[in-house]
Amino acid sequence: MLKKGIPVSPGIAVARAWVLDALLARHEPSRLEAAAVSDELLRFDRALDAAGHQLDAMAKRIDEQLGSKEAAIFQGHRLLLRDPALIGKVKSAILHRRIDAASALHEVLEEYEKLFGQIPDEYLRERLTDLRDVITRLTTHLLEKAPHLACLDGEEPTILVAFEILPSQAVLLEKVKAAGILVEAGGTTGHAAILARALGIPTVAGLPGICKEIESGDLVALDGRDGHVYVRPDAETEAAFRKLQREFVLLRDKLVENRDLESITPDGEKVELLANVNGLADAEMANRTGAVGVGLYRTEYLFLTHPDVPDEEEQYAAYKSVIEASPNKRVTIRSLDLGGDKLLPYFGHEREANPFMGWRSIRLCADYPDFFLTQLRAILRAAVHGDEVQLLFPMIARLEEVRFVKRMVRKAERQLAKAGKPFADGLRIGAMLEVPAAAINVDRILDEVDFISIGSNDLIQYLMAADRDNPKVAHLCEPFDPAIWRLLSRILKACEKAGKPATLCGEMAARPRCFLPLFGLGLRRFSMSPAFVPTIKQIVRCSPRDVGRRAARGVLKRITQPEIRRFLTRTTRAVCPDITFLDTQK
């Protein structure tokens, strides 16, 4: 069976599938022997206790850092853990039907979903979200040592199949030998795509119904370059894909050998290749692949993978470790970029019609100034351990927001000085250009900041009015539309005129076909997933300045997306033929 999805992360994979769902793992109910029932009941009780202690600790810490209103969410979850009806249904299924606790929880959730779906009251229907969170938490504790997940700890590579991969599941991707990823939702620049590319895992998104069409154990062949997925391929198709896989790996490994070579064009123009990182493991990988620094440290992943809310000391330790492990101890640290597709439960469950355009990033931090100051103090303290550390603020739309964050930085500095704690003062401050309003007003923004980082992922989706995680419109978020290139040209000209550096740190920076016109427009700093540094370095070393300028002129004079895509495919192939093999083909 052939399926066609959205190519997200290039690469070829042939392996057995493991189907995941929103509760981390979908599996057939385990039928228990009579003697095992009491042990399963005890295991469920232990999961209840563990989840309860975790929620108590979270409520206490969140009350201290954010306030009682936010902590009340977890106090409510704690009450659900004591609900005799919920507990009784699960224990009854274990005792009388002899099924495992995780399956019993899943069945209970499905029962409540049907029940809540019939309730007209919107508020009561929203409480299903709380129930789902509690059941997910319990299931997580149950699955930590569950026998049916043993295959994920083995040596055999696995293709993970899921509705979506959440940021909090990044740890899962790092622990298992994921040969590939297939997801129903998402596009080329969502969080699943970013995580997959950071780890170099071939990925295809936008595959509706794939979780039902594949069973765990099925052989799957996927091509993350063109989005083709073969479920239960015949022998000829399997052999062809395994050959492609060997060729892809050989070329990728060959490129890694350029780690110690300079990123310099044939006519002597230097280009800085930086890494986007989510944590310590990515920073270490940036060293191995030849990046010269970290152009974007996404601090929100510390929060998304933390059991509750990290305090100042935990944040300081995490930031310090990343700075010390980064190439040349050179790091641009971005403040929290939460909201949109990266949600934390302690900021409430209010649903927004357009979350990417709503209460997120700097807007969220402005409403929680003490929470924001805690992060700023931790960053300023950690910065003393680096050789070049910069502060970057996301989702800037107005000049007033730049001035606000600068005031907050100064306030954090005064607090640290008063406490007698060492910190780095006078850090360079930058704004992330991802809101079109800020991009249009870039000359005014440049008057207030030391540098600009272009967040192409969000900039493109806002410019095109297309949700990048919606498969139906994800094609609009590809970086080939003429409007995108005209706006980028305007931004880079403004930065050149102001004499202030610009870095492109969206996923566009890692697209081989985008390098030449960006270089031709004057961009000299590219920040990308560490796995892509060798590929882009190879293009740099093949690309004279005049070729880049011709590519830029060619892009700016073309008037449709298909024309630009075809032009860049031809141009890149002429300069560096092998590289197009490593790029997605959309």
Tell how far CA 189 is from the center of its chain. 8
Beta-bridge partners for 16: 158, 219
Catalytic residue chosen out of the listed positions 106, 141, 191, 228 = 191
Catalytic residue chosen out of the listed positions 211, 495, 505, 576 = 505
> Does residue 505 carry a catalytic annotation?
yes
Dist CA 348 CA 334 (whole Å): 23
Judge contact between 223 and 503, C-beta under 8 A: no
CA atoms within 13 A on the CB side of 9: 25
User: Tokens standing for 359?
Assistant: 């209460």
Give the other-Cβ count within 10 Å of 499's Cβ.
Answer: 7
Residue 434 CA: distances (Å) to CA of 175, 317, 356, 450, 505: 32, 29, 11, 17, 11
Give the other-Cβ count within 10 Å of 124's Cβ.
Answer: 10
Q: Is 291 left (phi over 0), alpha (psi -120 to 50) or beta?
A: beta
> Does residue 77 carry a catalytic annotation?
no
Dist CA 165 CA 158 (whole Å): 15
Judge contact between 527 and 296, C-beta under 8 A: yes
Q: Residue 296: in which H helix or E strand, if any?
A: strand 294-298
| Dihedral pair phi/psi, residue 228, rounded to 5° | -85, 135
Residue 581 CA: distances (Å) to CA of 125, 202, 245, 565, 571: 48, 13, 11, 15, 14
* Helices 561-575 and 482-498, axial angle in degrees (round to 10): 70
The conformation of residue 224, written as its DSSP 8-state character, comes to T
Length of the chain equals: 586
Residue 83 CA: distances (Å) to CA of 88, 90, 420, 487: 8, 11, 48, 55
Q: Look at the block and give the residue holding tokens 């009015």.
A: 465
Dist CA 407 CA 413 (whole Å): 10
Active site residues: 191, 505
